[in-house]
A = this chain, B = another copy of it.
């Protein structure tokens, strides 16, 4: 007998109509009358359920009538046109085998649950409509990102997770160690002796793969990383997680313009892929999560992103007449309220802001000829604010070393990074896209905890 996935049925129902097939899945809903009943099962291959119709001819009718939610079934029957309005077809069951009977205290009974509650059962929540849609989108989006870069010939680099260096000289880090806390080895000065640790020195979890991937761009020209990164910031907000995934492309022989071009192309590609490949999920998000979502995404797809300098942005904000909570002044970083004003009110489309004051940006960004600003770029999008941050990198060894000295960075720690400037350095540029931020942007989900399978946040590493 044909063992069919529910996805196959929805794709080409005509292939299977009036045929005997078998499916497997979990009970999502159950309605039973005296001598017949309906079960909706979901097999995880598709967003929608399959309706099963059964009646008292079933030899285990009594058992089936008492099925609990989320029980696992094997069903055989004939696919027929449905008389109901809700679906086009249904499966008239001749056999319903109960593979795994769910216990009656299944925590996802049929009622609306809050996202907060569902976080406490993160191992079960992908069985709900919302999280089924979120995590299928997460998977499809991850693949779309790889497709985008691979089609362009970018080489995927797995940069190290455990690192002996601190990329941006900023960001609180998690220490990685095998030392016994109850008996820490000490050096003669009485300090903890990291020479005894697994790697023979202090190591941390990476906050970014950028510096490592830059070295590979000097070999492969176009490269990207896509992996987990970590921040030990004690910020309990809806937008921060201690563990999240990041996409970081890097291009040699490229400047800030090439960088903006790539970022715009990537964002549009991802929107297009989601709308084309996950129409049911996107319709769900638009109906139940954020009613402005589709319009916003289609608008972005059709817009030419604006490009302004930071200095222009400050002037526009000052002249806008909009009241801000935080002061708008040259030299200050843009707050989210100001970023959103630029993209939502002033330009009404995505905006690249470039050439920020060097003091508020990282040491590796390329110094502009004015000596005051660096070739940085942030991409701001409606509904979110900053979604991508990048820059052209400082390829001139002397200027880079000066900047590091000003910031008190130890050149010795970056010997390999500096080597890329010594041996055939070229103009190069790249950016970072937080994967979870991208998912939130594409779904309308507002809490980062709801787009990560098992989120890690302060005081929380459950599961």
Contacts A72-B424, A102-B423, A453-B212 given; does A143 touch B135 at CB 8 Å = no
| A403-439 near B? 1/0 per residue, CB < 8 Å | 0000000000000110111111111000000000000
Given A184-B181, A221-B44, A143 and B160 touching (CB < 8 A)?
no
On whether A26 and B463 interact (CB within 8 A), knowing A153-B7, A172-B178, A176-B174, the answer reads: no
Docked Cα-Cα span, A205 to B204, in Å, equals: 12
Q: How many copies does the complex hold?
A: 2
Contact across chains for B44 and A103 when beta carbons are under 8 A apart: no
Can you list 17 residue pairs at the A/B interface with Cβ under 8 Å? A5-B153, A24-B426, A44-B252, A71-B424, A100-B424, A102-B423, A103-B423, A124-B215, A160-B456, A161-B205, A174-B177, A181-B184, A198-B232, A199-B461, A200-B460, A201-B461, A227-B227
Are B419 and A124 interface neighbours, CB within 8 A?
yes
A49 within 8 A of B: no
Complex Cα spacing A423 to B126, Å: 13
Q: Does A164 belong to the interface (CB within 8 Å)?
A: yes
C-alpha spacing A149/B232, complex, angstroms: 33
Q: Which residue of B is nearest A165, CB measured? A: B463
Size of interface on A: residues with Cβ below 8 Å to B:
108
Give chain B nearest CB distance to A373 CB in angstroms.
Answer: 23
Near B by CB (< 8 A), chain A positions 178-193 give 178-179, 181-182, 184, 191-192
What's the Cα separation between A177 and B172 when bound, in Å?
11
Given A199-B461, A253-B99, A459-B200, the answer on whether A126 and B216 have CB atoms closer than 8 Å is yes
A158 to chain B: closest CB distance in Å?
6
Q: Which of B24, B100, B199 contacts A458 (CB 8 A)?
A: B199
A92 contacts the other chain (CB 8 A)? no
Structural contact, A175 and B172, CB atoms closer than 8 A: no
* Cβ contact within 8 Å between B461 and A424: no
The verdict on A275 contacting chain B, using a C-beta distance below 8 Å, is no
CB pair A162–B424 under 8 Å, yes or no, is: no
Residue A139 at the B interface, CB < 8 A? yes
Question: By the criterion CB–CB under 8 Å, are A102 and B182 in contact?
Answer: no
Instruction: Collect the chain B residues with CB atoms within 8 Å of residue A401's CB.
Output: none
* In contact, A156 and B176 (Cβ under 8 angstroms): no
